[in-house]
Amino acid sequence: MINGKKVVVIMPAYNAEKTLKQTYDEIYHDFVDEVILVDDNSLDNTKTVSKELNITTIVHNKNKGYGANQKSCYKAALKANADIVIMLHPDYQYTPKLIPAMVSMMAFGQYDTVLASRMLGNSALKGGMPLYKFLANKFLTGVQNILIGEKLSEYHTGFRGFRKEILEKLPLADCDNDFIFDNEILALLFYYGYKIGEISCPTKYFKEASSINFVRSCQYGFGVLSVSLKYFLAKHGVFQSKIFKKNAKKLDFTGELEYYYKID
């Protein structure tokens, strides 16, 4: 705990067998109360490694997508009575050593959400980020800042922290079940007036680190622009798309989760 807040780290996982242990071992467990992994029906032994590490583990019986994986993660974290939830990818692209700093920014009431940004400083290219991804990240972030009216250094990091109230109140059930989910949740945070902080984060790109291919990257890029345009139209009262409507659905926390391995 930090400042009396229960901290839960969630890991949305898919084929993370080779990097999970390395990621888990770098977590400062003195600051983290529980780690929960959701395996999105991996083709490797991710769930077995997770159990061996004594991680609370949930396994989807079919591949549901990255966004759906996060939804299961957040449900599990709040059922575990988390006050602060940190999303950490188990592919070792981001360093878990930043978790105490990220949690502190929320535990003492300064921010509702904290993003670990690869674009603050000069670590992205040095860490091996492909040039086309770096340029695309810069371009998309610039356009998003114009449409949303904010000044984030990056909208595309997968290392994030949330206060529990956000996950309870935002209409996440209607958000995308694939990669666009990450951008929709940020758009919703700004739409409802929550405070987002950033912290500089080194990054590592290597063979085992998960990454979407060029075609999927292009699809993601167009999806990101669509989310930002929908935000702009909703914020200016022109048109409210599904997630920005007043009757958009929140996550349902009443159902039971299918635990593969649970720590008593």
Q: Which has the closest alpha carbon to 187: 141, 231, 220, 236?
A: 231
The pLDDT score that the predictor gives to residue 122 is 79
The pLDDT score that the predictor gives to residue 230 is 97
Q: How is residue 261 annotated by DSSP?
A: E
Strand partners, 115: 160, 198
The pLDDT score that the predictor gives to residue 218 is 87
Give me the phi and psi of 259, to 5 degrees please.
-75, 130
Per-residue pLDDT tens digits of the chain, which is 264 residues long: 899 999 999 999 999 999 999 999 999 999 999 999 999 999 999 999 999 999 999 999 999 999 999 999 999 999 999 999 999 999 999 999 999 999 999 999 999 999 999 999 877 888 888 888 899 999 999 999 999 999 999 999 999 999 999 999 999 999 999 999 999 999 999 999 999 999 999 988 877 666 677 788 889 999 999 999 999 999 999 999 999 998 899 999 888 888 998 886
Burial class (CB in 10 A: 0-12, 13-18, 19+), 260: middle
Domains and CATH numbers, the chain: 7-245 (3.90.550.10)
36 and 11 Cβ atoms separated by less than 8 Å: yes
The pLDDT score that the predictor gives to residue 89 is 97
39 and 59 Cβ atoms separated by less than 8 Å: yes
The pLDDT score that the predictor gives to residue 204 is 87
The pLDDT score that the predictor gives to residue 255 is 82
